[in-house]
Chains A and B, each alone.
Chain A
Amino acid sequence: KAGVTQTPRYLIKTRGQQVTLSCSPISGHRSVSWYQQTPGQGLQFLFEYFSETQRNKGNFPGRFSGRQFSNSRSEMNVSTLELGDSALYLCASSLTGQATRELFFGEGSRLTVL
C-alpha cells in the first residue's frame, strides 16, 4: 500500500513569509505526527493529531500550527518564517497513535528560509 506522502518535497521561502506543508498518511491510519529535523537540534516533536484533534504538542512557538482533516490528511503551517526554521519537516502516521505503535514516516519536506 502507498506510504506517507508529503508535499512539497522542497521549497524555498524568505524571512517573514509563511508556509504550508501537506501530509497524506497511510490509508487507514488516523494518527499523524510532525517532527522537525535540523543539524543542530536533531529530531524534535512538533505535534500529533488524531481524528482531527490535536492531542499533543511539542515545545515550539505559536508560529507553528497544524490541522487534520476528516480524511486524516494533515497540514502544518509556519508563519513569519525565521532563518532557524530551515529544516526537514517529517510527517509520520500510525494506526492509532498509541505509544506502543511504530510510526511510518514520509520522505519529508525540506524548507530553506533565506
Chain B
Amino acid sequence: AQKVTQAQTEISVVEKEDVTLDCVYETRDTTYYLFWYKQPPSGELVFLIRRNSFDEQNEISGRYSWNFQKSTSSFNFTITASQVVDSAVYFCALSGSGSARQLTFGSGTQLTVLP
C-alpha cells in the first residue's frame, strides 16, 4: 500500500518569507513517481513538478525548489520570497509502477501568505 504524509496542515507566513512544505511517502515499488500540485480557491489542481524515483537531482524553477531524498523518503517543496498569490492548498502525490494511472495524495498543506 502507498501512503503520503503531509504533517503540516496549515502554514502562515508573511510575504517575502521562504517557506518549506514537507512530504513523506511510503511505497514498496522500486520505481515510482512523485508530484506536487497546487489547489487555489477555484478548485482545480495545478501540476507543479514530477520526480522519478531514480532521479534524485534536486531542482529549482524560479521561486520554487524541490528536495528529493530517497534515504528519508521525503520530497519537500520550498517557495522562496513567498507572495500573496502563492496562497493555496499544496498536495504531494505518489504514483507507483504497480498502481499506474492512480495518484495517492497527501492530506494537503494550506499555505497562507499574508501581505
Contact = CB atoms under 8 A, between A and B. Distances in A.
B45 A98 contact: no
Given A100-B52, A105-B45, A105-B46, A43 B105 contact: yes
B86 to A, nearest CB: 18
Contacts of B37: 105
Contacts of B104: 45
B44 A99 contact: no
A25 to B, nearest CB: 13
Nearest to A47: B102
Nearest to A3: B44
Contact of B102 (A42, A56, A105, A106): A56
Interface in B58-115: 91, 95-97, 99-108
Interface residues of B, number: 26
A4 B50 CA distance: 20
Contact of A45 (B42, B46, B96, B102): B102
Given A99-B95, A99-B96, A100-B52, A45 B44 contact: no
Interface residues of A, number: 29
A42 B107 contact: yes
B47 A103 contact: yes
Given A100-B50, A102-B50, A48 B101 contact: yes
B105 A56 contact: no
B103 A45 contact: yes
A100 B33 contact: yes
A64 interface: no
A51 B100 CA distance: 16
Nearest to A94: B101
A107 B43 contact: yes
